[in-house]
Protein backbone atom coordinates (compact mmCIF):
# COMPACT_ATOMS: atom_id res chain seq x y z
CA UNK A 1 0.00 0.00 0.00
CA UNK A 2 1.45 3.39 -1.05
CA UNK A 3 2.34 5.74 1.79
CA UNK A 4 0.53 9.11 1.77
CA UNK A 5 2.86 12.09 1.27
CA UNK A 6 3.82 14.07 4.34
CA UNK A 7 2.60 17.64 4.81
CA UNK A 8 6.03 18.96 3.79
CA UNK A 9 6.02 16.81 0.63
CA UNK A 10 2.47 17.94 -0.16
CA UNK A 11 3.54 21.58 0.10
CA UNK A 12 6.45 20.96 -2.27
CA UNK A 13 4.13 19.23 -4.75
CA UNK A 14 1.60 22.07 -4.50
CA UNK A 15 4.30 24.71 -5.09
CA UNK A 16 5.66 22.77 -8.06
CA UNK A 17 2.19 22.49 -9.55
CA UNK A 18 1.65 26.25 -9.16
CA UNK A 19 4.93 26.95 -10.94
CA UNK A 20 4.05 24.53 -13.72
CA UNK A 21 0.63 26.13 -14.13
CA UNK A 22 2.15 29.62 -14.26
CA UNK A 23 4.61 28.43 -16.90
CA UNK A 24 1.80 26.88 -18.91
CA UNK A 25 -0.23 30.12 -18.83
CA UNK A 26 2.78 32.18 -19.91
CA UNK A 27 3.52 29.77 -22.77
CA UNK A 28 -0.06 30.08 -24.01
CA UNK A 29 0.13 33.88 -23.77
CA UNK A 30 3.40 33.89 -25.70
CA UNK A 31 1.84 31.75 -28.43
CA UNK A 32 -1.11 34.13 -28.67
CA UNK A 33 1.23 37.12 -28.99
CA UNK A 34 3.20 35.31 -31.67
CA UNK A 35 0.04 34.48 -33.61
CA UNK A 36 -1.00 38.13 -33.58
CA UNK A 37 2.37 39.28 -34.91
CA UNK A 38 2.46 36.55 -37.56
CA UNK A 39 -1.10 37.32 -38.64
CA UNK A 40 -0.41 41.03 -39.01
CA UNK A 41 2.84 40.42 -40.87
CA UNK A 42 1.10 37.93 -43.14
CA UNK A 43 -1.54 40.51 -44.01
CA UNK A 44 1.20 42.95 -45.00
CA UNK A 45 2.91 40.34 -47.16
CA UNK A 46 -0.36 39.43 -48.86
CA UNK A 47 -1.24 43.04 -49.46
CA UNK A 48 2.11 43.87 -51.01
CA UNK A 49 3.10 40.65 -52.75
CA UNK A 50 0.18 38.27 -52.90
CA UNK A 51 -2.06 40.12 -55.29
CA UNK A 52 -4.82 40.71 -52.75
CA UNK A 53 -5.94 44.18 -51.69
CA UNK A 54 -5.94 43.52 -47.98
CA UNK A 55 -5.57 46.01 -45.18
CA UNK A 56 -4.87 45.46 -41.51
CA UNK A 57 -8.13 44.86 -39.69
CA UNK A 58 -8.98 46.99 -36.69
CA UNK A 59 -9.92 45.71 -33.27
CA UNK A 60 -13.56 45.98 -32.33
CA UNK A 61 -14.72 48.21 -29.52
CA UNK A 62 -13.04 51.21 -27.93
CA UNK A 63 -9.28 51.42 -27.95
CA UNK A 64 -7.62 50.65 -24.67
CA UNK A 65 -5.71 53.51 -23.11
CA UNK A 66 -2.49 51.92 -21.84
CA UNK A 67 -0.56 53.74 -19.18
CA UNK A 68 2.70 55.25 -20.38
CA UNK A 69 5.95 55.21 -18.49
CA UNK A 70 6.64 58.32 -16.45
CA UNK A 71 4.01 60.96 -15.78
CA UNK A 72 0.38 59.90 -16.11
CA UNK A 73 -1.53 60.98 -19.19
CA UNK A 74 -3.46 64.24 -18.84
CA UNK A 75 -7.21 63.88 -18.46
CA UNK A 76 -8.29 67.30 -19.74
CA UNK A 77 -9.48 67.19 -23.35
CA UNK A 78 -7.67 69.79 -25.41
CA UNK A 79 -8.73 69.92 -29.06
CA UNK A 80 -6.01 71.27 -31.34
CA UNK A 81 -6.63 74.35 -33.41
CA UNK A 82 -7.61 73.55 -37.01
CA UNK A 83 -9.38 70.28 -36.06
CA UNK A 84 -12.77 69.75 -37.66
CA UNK A 85 -15.63 67.26 -37.80
CA UNK A 86 -17.65 65.91 -34.86
CA UNK A 87 -15.86 66.73 -31.57
CA UNK A 88 -12.83 67.86 -33.57
CA UNK A 89 -11.87 64.29 -34.50
CA UNK A 90 -11.28 64.92 -38.22
CA UNK A 91 -8.34 66.63 -39.91
CA UNK A 92 -9.40 68.44 -43.09
CA UNK A 93 -6.79 69.24 -45.72
CA UNK A 94 -7.41 71.31 -48.81
CA UNK A 95 -9.92 74.04 -49.62
CA UNK A 96 -12.86 74.03 -47.22
CA UNK A 97 -15.37 74.80 -49.98
CA UNK A 98 -14.25 71.95 -52.25
CA UNK A 99 -17.39 70.21 -53.60
CA UNK A 100 -16.05 66.67 -53.17
CA UNK A 101 -14.55 64.90 -50.16
CA UNK A 102 -11.91 62.20 -50.06
CA UNK A 103 -11.90 60.35 -46.73
CA UNK A 104 -8.61 58.69 -45.80
CA UNK A 105 -8.54 56.18 -42.92
CA UNK A 106 -5.07 55.37 -41.59
CA UNK A 107 -3.04 54.26 -38.58
CA UNK A 108 0.46 55.76 -38.27
CA UNK A 109 1.78 52.35 -37.28
CA UNK A 110 0.20 50.53 -40.25
CA UNK A 111 2.81 49.36 -42.81
CA UNK A 112 0.27 49.05 -45.60
CA UNK A 113 -0.61 52.72 -45.05
CA UNK A 114 3.07 53.52 -45.51
CA UNK A 115 3.07 51.83 -48.92
CA UNK A 116 -0.12 53.62 -49.92
CA UNK A 117 1.40 56.96 -48.92
CA UNK A 118 4.63 56.21 -50.77
CA UNK A 119 2.72 55.30 -53.93
CA UNK A 120 -0.05 57.90 -53.90
CA UNK A 121 0.45 60.36 -51.07
CA UNK A 122 1.74 63.01 -53.46
CA UNK A 123 -1.18 62.29 -55.79
CA UNK A 124 -3.62 62.91 -52.93
CA UNK A 125 -1.96 66.27 -52.36
CA UNK A 126 -2.12 67.20 -56.04
CA UNK A 127 -5.81 66.33 -56.24
CA UNK A 128 -6.55 69.06 -53.68
CA UNK A 129 -4.68 71.80 -55.53
CA UNK A 130 -7.44 72.78 -57.96
CA UNK A 131 -10.00 72.97 -55.16
CA UNK A 132 -12.34 70.29 -56.50
CA UNK A 133 -11.46 67.72 -53.79
CA UNK A 134 -10.65 68.13 -50.12
CA UNK A 135 -9.23 65.41 -47.87
CA UNK A 136 -10.50 64.37 -44.46
CA UNK A 137 -8.11 62.25 -42.42
CA UNK A 138 -9.65 59.78 -39.94
CA UNK A 139 -6.84 58.36 -37.84
CA UNK A 140 -6.80 55.12 -35.88
CA UNK A 141 -4.72 53.62 -33.08
CA UNK A 142 -5.88 50.00 -33.05
CA UNK A 143 -2.41 48.55 -33.63
CA UNK A 144 -1.46 49.57 -30.09
CA UNK A 145 -4.14 47.18 -28.87
CA UNK A 146 -3.41 44.45 -31.42
CA UNK A 147 0.38 44.39 -31.05
CA UNK A 148 0.97 46.12 -27.73
CA UNK A 149 2.72 49.40 -27.11
CA UNK A 150 1.70 53.01 -27.60
CA UNK A 151 3.24 54.06 -30.92
CA UNK A 152 0.00 54.70 -32.82
CA UNK A 153 -1.45 56.83 -30.05
CA UNK A 154 1.80 58.69 -29.35
CA UNK A 155 2.19 59.56 -33.02
CA UNK A 156 -1.47 60.58 -33.22
CA UNK A 157 -1.16 62.87 -30.19
CA UNK A 158 1.96 64.42 -31.73
CA UNK A 159 0.04 64.89 -34.98
CA UNK A 160 -2.48 66.86 -32.91
CA UNK A 161 0.34 69.10 -31.72
CA UNK A 162 1.40 69.57 -35.36
CA UNK A 163 -2.20 70.34 -36.36
CA UNK A 164 -2.28 73.00 -33.65
CA UNK A 165 0.63 74.66 -35.45
CA UNK A 166 -1.20 74.58 -38.79
CA UNK A 167 -2.85 72.22 -41.29
CA UNK A 168 0.16 72.38 -43.59
CA UNK A 169 2.45 71.53 -40.66
CA UNK A 170 0.23 68.54 -39.87
CA UNK A 171 0.37 67.31 -43.46
CA UNK A 172 4.16 67.65 -43.62
CA UNK A 173 4.54 65.86 -40.27
CA UNK A 174 2.09 63.16 -41.41
CA UNK A 175 4.25 62.56 -44.49
CA UNK A 176 7.47 62.48 -42.45
CA UNK A 177 6.03 59.90 -40.05
CA UNK A 178 5.12 57.55 -42.89
CA UNK A 179 8.43 58.07 -44.66
CA UNK A 180 10.26 57.11 -41.45
CA UNK A 181 7.85 54.49 -40.08
CA UNK A 182 9.54 51.77 -37.98
CA UNK A 183 8.58 48.12 -38.10
CA UNK A 184 5.08 47.94 -36.60
CA UNK A 185 6.23 45.27 -34.12
CA UNK A 186 8.98 47.48 -32.68
CA UNK A 187 6.65 50.26 -31.44
CA UNK A 188 9.27 52.82 -32.46
CA UNK A 189 6.76 55.67 -32.44
CA UNK A 190 6.17 55.01 -28.74
CA UNK A 191 9.34 57.00 -28.01
CA UNK A 192 8.51 60.71 -27.75
CA UNK A 193 12.19 61.53 -28.31
CA UNK A 194 12.09 59.79 -31.67
CA UNK A 195 8.90 61.63 -32.56
CA UNK A 196 10.56 64.95 -31.76
CA UNK A 197 13.61 64.03 -33.85
CA UNK A 198 11.34 63.35 -36.82
CA UNK A 199 9.48 66.62 -36.21
CA UNK A 200 12.80 68.35 -36.81
CA UNK A 201 12.47 67.33 -40.47
CA UNK A 202 9.48 69.69 -40.84
CA UNK A 203 10.71 73.30 -41.15
CA UNK A 204 9.33 75.49 -38.39
CA UNK A 205 7.37 72.75 -36.60
CA UNK A 206 9.49 72.33 -33.45
CA UNK A 207 8.32 75.42 -31.65
CA UNK A 208 8.49 75.54 -27.86
CA UNK A 209 4.73 74.98 -27.77
CA UNK A 210 4.97 71.91 -30.00
CA UNK A 211 7.80 70.34 -28.00
CA UNK A 212 5.94 70.97 -24.72
CA UNK A 213 2.72 69.50 -26.12
CA UNK A 214 4.50 66.31 -27.24
CA UNK A 215 6.50 65.99 -24.02
CA UNK A 216 3.49 66.66 -21.77
CA UNK A 217 1.19 64.53 -23.96
CA UNK A 218 -1.24 67.43 -24.11
CA UNK A 219 -3.27 65.93 -26.94
CA UNK A 220 -3.37 62.34 -25.65
CA UNK A 221 -7.06 62.62 -24.61
CA UNK A 222 -7.86 64.08 -28.03
CA UNK A 223 -5.98 61.23 -29.71
CA UNK A 224 -8.14 58.78 -27.76
CA UNK A 225 -11.30 60.54 -29.01
CA UNK A 226 -10.02 60.42 -32.60
CA UNK A 227 -9.21 56.71 -32.28
CA UNK A 228 -12.65 55.99 -30.82
CA UNK A 229 -14.28 57.90 -33.69
CA UNK A 230 -12.44 55.65 -36.13
CA UNK A 231 -13.72 52.56 -34.30
CA UNK A 232 -17.27 53.91 -34.52
CA UNK A 233 -16.97 54.73 -38.24
CA UNK A 234 -17.71 51.22 -39.52
CA UNK A 235 -14.39 51.09 -41.36
CA UNK A 236 -12.70 47.78 -40.55
CA UNK A 237 -9.16 48.29 -41.75
CA UNK A 238 -6.45 50.64 -42.90
CA UNK A 239 -5.74 52.10 -45.32
CA UNK A 240 -9.22 52.81 -46.60
CA UNK A 241 -10.06 55.62 -49.02
CA UNK A 242 -13.47 56.79 -50.20
CA UNK A 243 -14.58 59.71 -52.38
CA UNK A 244 -18.05 61.04 -51.59
CA UNK A 245 -18.62 57.72 -49.81
CA UNK A 246 -17.56 55.58 -52.77
CA UNK A 247 -14.65 53.16 -52.12
CA UNK A 248 -11.39 53.59 -54.03
CA UNK A 249 -9.30 50.51 -54.85
CA UNK A 250 -5.77 50.93 -53.54
CA UNK A 251 -4.25 47.75 -54.97
CA UNK A 252 -4.15 46.23 -58.44
CA UNK A 253 -2.76 42.74 -58.83
CA UNK A 254 0.45 42.52 -56.82
CA UNK A 255 1.06 46.23 -56.35
CA UNK A 256 -0.50 49.47 -55.25
CA UNK A 257 -2.40 51.27 -57.97
CA UNK A 258 -0.44 53.79 -59.99
CA UNK A 259 -1.00 57.54 -59.53
CA UNK A 260 -2.80 57.52 -62.88
CA UNK A 261 -5.12 54.69 -61.82
CA UNK A 262 -5.75 56.32 -58.45
CA UNK A 263 -6.52 59.70 -60.04
CA UNK A 264 -8.88 58.13 -62.57
CA UNK A 265 -10.85 56.42 -59.80
CA UNK A 266 -11.11 59.62 -57.78
CA UNK A 267 -12.33 61.62 -60.78
CA UNK A 268 -14.87 58.96 -61.68
CA UNK A 269 -16.20 58.75 -58.11
CA UNK A 270 -16.46 62.54 -57.92
CA UNK A 271 -17.95 62.86 -61.41
CA UNK A 272 -15.14 65.13 -62.58
3-state SS, residue 235: coil
Q: What angle do CA 78, 81, 82 make, to 5 degrees?
A: 135
Nearest of 71, 75, 67 to residue 225 by alpha carbon: 75
* Residue-level pLDDT at 226: 98
* Residue-level pLDDT at 150: 94
Q: Residue 105, exposed/middle/buried by CB under 10 A (0-12, 13-18, 19+)?
A: buried
d(CA 14, CA 77): 50
* Residue-level pLDDT at 50: 41
For residue 57, report the phi and psi dihedrals to the nearest 5 degrees.
-75, 145
Q: Give the predicted TM-score (pTM) of the model.
A: 0.77
* Residue-level pLDDT at 4: 54
Q: Along the 272 residues of the chain, how does pLDDT read in single tens digits?
A: 545 556 565 555 565 565 555 555 455 444 443 333 333 433 444 444 443 344 455 444 454 444 344 456 788 999 999 999 999 999 999 999 999 999 999 999 999 999 999 999 999 999 999 899 999 999 999 999 888 899 999 999 999 999 999 999 999 999 999 999 998 778 999 999 999 999 999 999 999 999 999 999 999 999 999 999 999 999 999 999 999 999 999 998 878 999 999 999 999 999 98
Instruction: Estimate to the nearest angstrom the gap between the alpha carbon of 135 and the chain centroid.
Output: 17
* Residue-level pLDDT at 272: 87
Phi-psi region of 21 (alpha: psi -120 to 50; beta: other; left: phi over 0): alpha
For residue 18, report the phi and psi dihedrals to the nearest 5 degrees.
-65, -40
* Residue-level pLDDT at 231: 95
Amino acid sequence: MAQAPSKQQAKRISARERIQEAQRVEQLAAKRRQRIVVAVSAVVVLALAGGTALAIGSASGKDEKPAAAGAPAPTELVVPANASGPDGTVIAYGKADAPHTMAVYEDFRCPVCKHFEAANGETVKKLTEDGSVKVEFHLAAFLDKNLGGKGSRTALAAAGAALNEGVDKFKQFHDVLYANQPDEREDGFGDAGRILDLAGKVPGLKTDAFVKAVTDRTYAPWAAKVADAFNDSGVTGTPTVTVDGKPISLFSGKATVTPEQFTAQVRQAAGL
